[in-house]
């Protein structure tokens, strides 16, 4: 069957039109942000620099793309339409009349739709894995930097041991398909996913132990919500069926947390060793405050600037890592629309113009660029404080 094609300009307009929910959401958020910039604290200060504005725009673009993926995508990212196999950009699918705006891959799937849905995978796994790595690194880095001595020596040795292992080989070992048949990833997940529960229970206890009624409510909510998430992620046993993670996604999640936590640990440890010498820490010690209260409520808030910057950069590193693993066929399922897998599938096609690997590659590059610009702007603002 002979396919009809849109022109280059029509294809460009079609791409822009498909993103209409994103443009609308960006206009609303940016309008409100600029109007109330003075009241929005650190977020509002990002709009004082070009790098901050660009970083916010790019990150929000992909955030809204992942939220409105069902509306933006003209086709199911897994649907195979035989006549569209290896179709060129702008090819019109005969039955629906919708265009394969970026063409079709070798399995006759819409590259544009796969790129859009790939953003959902990245914006779920990368930030969540980074958040858990921060929880592990902070929980271990605080006592190592504050107490020093044997605790610091032991935890630093373990962190250096992980950091000394080649990163690519480490991830290769942790995400190979056969490892899911062993209890290793589930055991690691069971340990790592306990850290947020421990962290928040300690946080609330140190702050509100003199107000038992409020403390009981906060601890109960933490254990209830944390236990619910824990059951869903580790045992896939969420009684409500809301929280679940596929085994191959759990593999990647655990690998990212395991490899990223030592880096966070070292940053937190160094910050704590510097901040604990400040006068306000000495004042808290003079008042008789407990060590964990000082660590969580005096030291940690004053270390938030570098940690926020590091979190942005780590999300970018994780995004690159997901793309790398997807390209080598490790971790996620082969039919996954994640950007790395899409680049791998599309790189096998050769065309005279607009290589099919370009859309997912540019998507990955632009998201990481936005995070780096955001981190630069945050670093500038933190230096002003």
User: 132 with 269, same domain?
Assistant: yes
What confidence tens digit (pLDDT) does each residue in 14-57 have?
999 999 999 999 999 999 998 888 888 888 888 888 889 999 99
184 lies in some domain: yes
Angle at 71 between CA 12 and CA 73, to 5 degrees: 50
User: 311 with 356, same domain?
Assistant: no
pLDDT band at 138 (very low <50, low <70, confident <90, very high): very high
User: 144 with 224, same domain?
Assistant: yes
pLDDT band at 181 (very low <50, low <70, confident <90, very high): low
Angle at 91 between CA 117 and CA 76, to 5 degrees: 25
Tokens standing for residue 56: 């916010």
What confidence tens digit (pLDDT) does each residue in 2-24 have?
788 888 899 899 999 999 999 99
E strand or H helix that includes residue 23 = helix 20-35
The closest alpha carbon to 315, from 131, 60, 110, belongs to 131
Mean model confidence pLDDT for the chain: 87
Distance CA 234, CA 66 (A): 25
Q: Bigger pLDDT: 332 or 14?
A: 14
By CB atoms closer than 10 A (0-12, 13-18, 19+), residue 211 is exposed
Predicted pLDDT at 169: 76
Predicted pLDDT at 272: 95
Distance CA 130, CA 318 (A): 8
Average pLDDT over every residue of 302-325: 88
336 lies in some domain: no
E strand or H helix that includes residue 362 = helix 358-384
Angle at 359 between CA 365 and CA 102, to 5 degrees: 170
Beta-sheet pairing, 99-100 with 91-92: antiparallel
CB 173 within 8 A of CB 179: yes
3-class secondary structure per residue, 43-65? HHHHHHCHHHHHHHHHHHHHHHH
User: 277 with 194, same domain?
Assistant: yes
- The pTM of this model reads 0.88
356 lies in some domain: yes
325 lies in some domain: no
278 lies in some domain: yes
Average pLDDT over every residue of 130-159: 93
Predicted pLDDT at 39: 87
Q: Is the pLDDT of residue 294 over 90?
A: yes
User: 165 with 296, same domain?
Assistant: yes
Please name the residue that has the structure tokens 């403390």: 215
339 lies in some domain: no
User: 257 with 160, same domain?
Assistant: yes
Q: Is the pLDDT of residue 155 over 70?
A: yes
Give the domain-ending residue among 318, 340, 361. 318
271 lies in some domain: yes
Rounded percentage of the chain residues whose pLDDT exceeds 70? 95
User: 252 with 161, same domain?
Assistant: yes
Least confident of 3-7, 33-37, 217-221, 309-313: 3-7
Distance CA 314, CA 113 (A): 27
Strand ranges for the chain from DSSP E: 4-5, 91-92, 99-100
326 lies in some domain: no
User: 86 with 128, same domain?
Assistant: no
pLDDT band at 185 (very low <50, low <70, confident <90, very high): confident
Distance CA 299, CA 142 (A): 9
Number of domains in the chain: 2
Boundaries of domain holding 142: 121-318
Q: CB-side exposure of 293: number of CA atoms within 13 Å?
A: 15
> In this structure, what are the phi and psi dihedrals at residue 100, rounded to the nearest 5 degrees?
-80, 90
Average pLDDT over every residue of 85-110: 86
Predicted pLDDT at 202: 94
Give the domain-ending residue among 278, 296, 318. 318
What confidence tens digit (pLDDT) does each residue in 238-287 have?
777 778 777 777 888 888 898 899 999 999 999 999 999 999 999 999 99
Least confident of 21-30, 104-113, 175-184, 198-207: 175-184
Predicted pLDDT at 132: 92
Cα-Cα-Cα-Cα torsion 209, 215, 221, 222, nearest 10 degrees, comes to -10
Q: Is the pLDDT of residue 352 over 50?
A: no
Predicted pLDDT at 383: 67
User: 150 with 193, same domain?
Assistant: yes
Taken as a whole, the chain contains a residue count of 385
The closest alpha carbon to 324, from 252, 373, 257, belongs to 252
Give the domain-ending residue among 279, 298, 318. 318
Q: Is the pLDDT of residue 188 over 90?
A: no
Average pLDDT over every residue of 195-223: 93
Predicted pLDDT at 23: 96
User: 65 with 149, same domain?
Assistant: no
Distance CA 231, CA 217 (A): 21
Predicted pLDDT at 66: 94
Q: CB-side exposure of 185: number of CA atoms within 13 Å?
A: 27
User: 148 with 287, same domain?
Assistant: yes
Average pLDDT over every residue of 355-368: 88
Distance CA 41, CA 268 (A): 23
Predicted pLDDT at 349: 60
Q: Is the pLDDT of residue 156 over 70?
A: yes
- C-alpha 56: how far from chain center: 15
> Euclidean distance between the first and final Cα of the chain, in Å?
65
Distance CA 155, CA 141 (A): 8
User: 40 with 69, same domain?
Assistant: yes
Q: Which residues pair with 4 in a beta bridge?
A: 92
């Amino acid at each position: 069957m002979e396919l009809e094609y849109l022109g280059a300009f029509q294809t460009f307009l079609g791409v822009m039109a498909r993103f209409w929910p994103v443009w609308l959401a960006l206009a609303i958020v940016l309008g409100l942000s600029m109007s109330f910039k003075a009241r929005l604290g650190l977020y509002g200060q990002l709009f004082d620099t070009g790098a901050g504005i660009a970083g916010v725009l790019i990150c929000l673009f992909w955030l809204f793309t992942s939220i409105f993926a069902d509306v933006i995508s003209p086709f199911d990212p897994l649907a195979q339409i035989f006549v569209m196999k290896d179709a060129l950009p702008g090819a019109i699918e005969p039955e629906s009349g919708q265009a394969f705006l970026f063409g079709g891959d070798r399995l006759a799937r819409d590259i544009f739709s796969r790129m859009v849905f790939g953003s959902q995978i990245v914006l779920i796994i990368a930030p969540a894995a980074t958040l858990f790595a921060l929880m592990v690194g902070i929980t271990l880095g605080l006592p190592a930097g504050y107490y020093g001595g044997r605790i610091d020596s032991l935890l630093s040795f373990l962190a250096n041991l992980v950091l000394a292992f080649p990163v690519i080989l480490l991830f290769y070992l942790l995400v190979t398909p056969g490892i899911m048949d062993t209890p290793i990833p589930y055991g690691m997940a069971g340990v790592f996913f306990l850290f947020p529960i421990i962290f928040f229970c300690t946080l609330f206890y140190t702050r509100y132990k003199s107000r038992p009624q409020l403390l009981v409510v906060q601890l109960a909510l933490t254990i209830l919500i944390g236990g619910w998430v824990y059951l869903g992620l580790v045992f896939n046993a969420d009684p409500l069926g809301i929280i679940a993670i596929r085994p191959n996604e759990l593999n990647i999640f655990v690998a990212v947390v395991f490899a990223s936590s030592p880096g966070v640990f070292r940053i937190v440890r160094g910050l704590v060793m510097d901040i604990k010498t400040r006068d306000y820490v000495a004042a808290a010690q003079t008042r008789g405050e407990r060590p964990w209260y000082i660590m969580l409520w005096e030291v940690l808030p004053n270390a938030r600037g570098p940690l926020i910057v590091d979190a942005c950069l780590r999300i970018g590193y994780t995004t690159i890592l997901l793309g790398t693993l997807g390209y080598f066929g490790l971790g996620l399922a082969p039919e996954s629309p994640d950007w790395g897998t899409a680049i791998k599938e599309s790189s096998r096609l050769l065309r005279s113009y607009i290589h099919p690997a370009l859309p997912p590659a540019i998507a990955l590059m632009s998201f990481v660029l936005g995070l780096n610009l955001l981190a630069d702007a945050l670093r500038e603002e933190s230096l002003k404080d």
